[in-house]
Amino acid sequence: MRRGMKLLLVDNLVMPEEGSLAYLDVHPHLGLLALTAVAEADGHRVRIYDPKRLIRDGTLAYDATLYERASRAILAERPDAVGFTALGCSFLFALNVAALLKRREPDLPVLLGGPHATMLHRQILERFPQFDIIVRYEADEILPAVLDCLEQRTFDVIPGLSWRATGRGAPLRFTDGKPKVEELDRLPIASYDHYPVDDLGLSMLRIEAGRGCPFACTFCSTAGFFQRSFRLKSAERLVHELDILHRRYRVSDFKLDHDMFTVNRHKVMAFCEAVAGRGYRWRASARIDCVDEALLRKMADAGCVNLYFGVETGSERMQTICRKRLDLRLVEPILAAADSFGIETTASFITGYPQESGQDQDDTLDMIGRCARRPSCLTQLHMLAPEPGTPLFDEHGAQIAYDGYGGPYNTRLLGPGDEREVLDHPDIFQTYYYYPAALPRARHIFAVEAVDVLRRAGPIILAYALREFGGRLSRLISAWRRFADETSPGALPDAAGLEAFVAARFGRGHHLHSLFRYALRLSAARAPADVVAEGPYEPDRPCMLAENVGLLEDIHNCEALVDRLRRSNDGAPALGDADVGGLGAYIVRADGEAVTGYWVESGIAAILDLFRAPRSCRAAAQWLAHVTRNDGVDASIFEPLLRRGILVPAR
């Protein structure tokens, strides 16, 4: 194909873990940026189409029109070729949009790449004619040759390709080889200007630090795609890329993307030496047994502020079975050491292994509970997803089952056509399925959802609650599960369910019930910013409680309780009735991520309750004067509530 062709690359549509489309990850896709750089260096023009950004800003509706609108937008760019990248969880989007492209432009070359396509290249080409070519493994060094040969489809000398030969009934063709970039420093530097970075509202940027994990966990597809070949860019190259981004976008906060950044201690130390003193804050992923106090200190001094650790299971037995093979005795000391140097951590775990017993899951939950007590540690519990190209799938893939409960990252099913594809092709859409296991499926689901709800309470309240369960998270979740089975069988754990469980176990007047209500309301308060009253105060204008203001009645002064718990230790006795004070009310107000709570007397809450429906401040003052028999009540007492955005003018 001619030089100077126009290539359009289509980003993944991966759902956010939080569920809401407002949390769609709009960071630039590092793999697409790398491919863009090599294609442009070869004289081609490249555009990137990112459906996540368009959905988040409201340009693209996430409904039954999604695929149609996306395909029309892509064709409006008049590309000479279109390339999709896809994970298993996002393949539905690529599949449907590519089909519409081919329907309208049958001669438009459509390429596909990424881990999912690499592992399933033959099945995808056999079943889905909308894809012409699949580029397997790492495409950086072969993409220019693929584009040059695209018109004639003379790919026989290019390694790692699968394609559909021209002509009716022509066979599929394959070349051997697993392309891999040995020297990442030789790749051209990616230009982030292919994304509207200045308009994305990002507080940090990601850069590709390297590729490949040398370990062999049975559930992970990373090792297969990158061929267990650990590579890390040189310290000089990494710092050079950080400097470019800092100058171009005025960003000093970075995420170094690499599944296992700390495997090569010498290279990490060299990077720390090179980046120290620049004032950059950076994050990375690591393995518990690939760091120690000396390395953590060095990293912290060089600007490291967060490390992600995949622990995967708190069971020694499962560590062996899944071949993670961590020494679990290291986990908590390493988290403590990181904390002492000012490095926040994430400890990630998985449940749903086919071989996982009840004791194995309890061990994992209890380790999560111990980690979650540390304010600097974010804990996660994920449901195991079947992944092609993994030893676990090779062993258990034939038994996968479907129940409609998918992982949080899966593209939503937008109609019967999507569900039919998922049901007809379980070996393609594995992430929508699960491995039948020794434990009931419902127990795995309950654990994942319960941990997600409980962690919203925060480390202080969760640690205090665990005292009532012998310090063990597994006991808390087991008791909650039994309660749920009796009162709401089949329902997923949520905030209301947790509040009901705590109320039933301890009583609605118990301070633990207040603490969970308070913490869960603060966590949920993420509404848009208030419309705060401006201009002159108008006492006769109807007002209401703002949408992002919640009123919690008959509740203890939880801020005071949390402060007291923060200053105590795990060995301190539980708070008694004399310690917790009386009941009042909380006004909870959110402004984006910032949440403020005001504890007020019950009488104030009753007054605010007047504004659940539109009412003027003067009318409210008159009512208050009547019930208190105090003619001195003036409407001006409500003006501070409007200035703070607790009350807003009714629409």
Same domain, 362 and 464: yes
Same domain, 265 and 304: yes
pLDDT of residue 422: 97
Same domain, 170 and 188: no
> Tell me, what DSSP letter sits at residue 434?
B
User: Do the beta carbons of residue 415 and residue 64 sit within 8 Å?
Assistant: yes
Closest CA to 524 of 552, 544, 545: 552
Q: Phi/psi of residue 380, each to 5°?
A: -135, 145
Q: What is the CATH number of the domain that holds 71?
A: 3.40.50.280
pLDDT of residue 528: 36
Total count of residues recorded for the chain: 651
At how many degrees (to 10) do helices 265-275 and 235-249 cross? 40
Strands (E), 50-113: 81-85, 110-113
In a domain, 524, yes or no: no
Distance of CA 11 to the CA centre of its chain: 17
Same domain, 301 and 371: yes
In a domain, 420, yes or no: no
Could you tell me the two tokens for 472? 């063990």
Same domain, 259 and 141: no
Closest CA to 596 of 536, 516, 526: 526
User: Do the beta carbons of residue 45 and residue 5 sit within 8 Å?
Assistant: yes
CA distance 93 to 11: 10
User: Do the beta carbons of residue 286 and residue 347 sit within 8 Å?
Assistant: no
> Across the 651 residues of the chain, what is the mean pLDDT of every consecutive 10-residue run?
84 85 92 98 97 93 95 98 96 98 97 96 97 97 96 93 82 96 96 95 96 95 88 98 98 97 97 98 98 99 99 99 98 98 98 98 99 95 96 97 91 94 97 97 98 95 96 98 96 96 96 93 58 64 82 85 85 82 79 67 73 88 80 80 81 74
SS3 348: strand
The last residue of one of the domains, among 119, 152, 174, is 174
Four-residue CA torsion sign, 604, 610, 613, 615: negative
Strand 281-286, strand 304-312: pairing: parallel
Q: Where do the H-state alpha helices sit in 488-592?
A: 495-506, 511-524, 558-567, 577-580
CA distance 651 to 640: 20
User: Do the beta carbons of residue 614 and residue 542 sit within 8 Å?
Assistant: yes
Taking the CA atoms of the chain, what radius of gyration do you get in angstroms?
A: 28
In a domain, 397, yes or no: no
Largest Cα span, the chain: 94
Could you tell me the two tokens for 557? 């002064």
Containing H/E element for 211? Answer: strand 210-211
In a domain, 496, yes or no: yes
The last residue of one of the domains, among 140, 174, 208, is 174
Same domain, 565 and 594: yes
The last residue of one of the domains, among 174, 205, 234, is 174
Q: What is the CATH number of the domain that holds 603?
A: 3.90.930
For residue 31, the one-letter residue type is G
For residue 351, the one-letter residue type is T
Could you tell me the two tokens for 379? 């804990």
Closest CA to 444 of 403, 411, 413: 403
Q: Which structural domain range is residue 43 located in?
A: 6-174
Number of helical H runs and strand E runs in the chain:
26, 21
Q: Map 134-182 to HEC letters.
A: EECCCCCCCHHHHHHCCCCCCCCCCCCEEEECCCCCCCEEECCCCCCCC
pLDDT of residue 624: 80
Same domain, 449 and 305: yes
Q: What is the CATH number of the domain that holds 218?
A: 3.80.30.20
pLDDT of residue 533: 43
Same domain, 566 and 612: yes
> Tell me, what DSSP letter sits at residue 28?
-
pTM (predicted TM-score)? 0.88
DSSP per position, 60-118: S-SSTTHHHHHHHHHHHT--SEEEEE--GGGHHHHHHHHHHHHHH-TTS-EEEESHHHH
Same domain, 126 and 203: no
SS3 559: helix
Q: Phi/psi of residue 549, each to 5°?
A: -115, 125
SS3 118: helix
Number of separate domains in the chain? 3
Same domain, 359 and 470: yes
Closest CA to 463 of 556, 572, 361: 572
Could you tell me the two tokens for 22? 């407002």
Same domain, 290 and 339: yes
Same domain, 60 and 123: yes
CA distance 470 to 385: 32
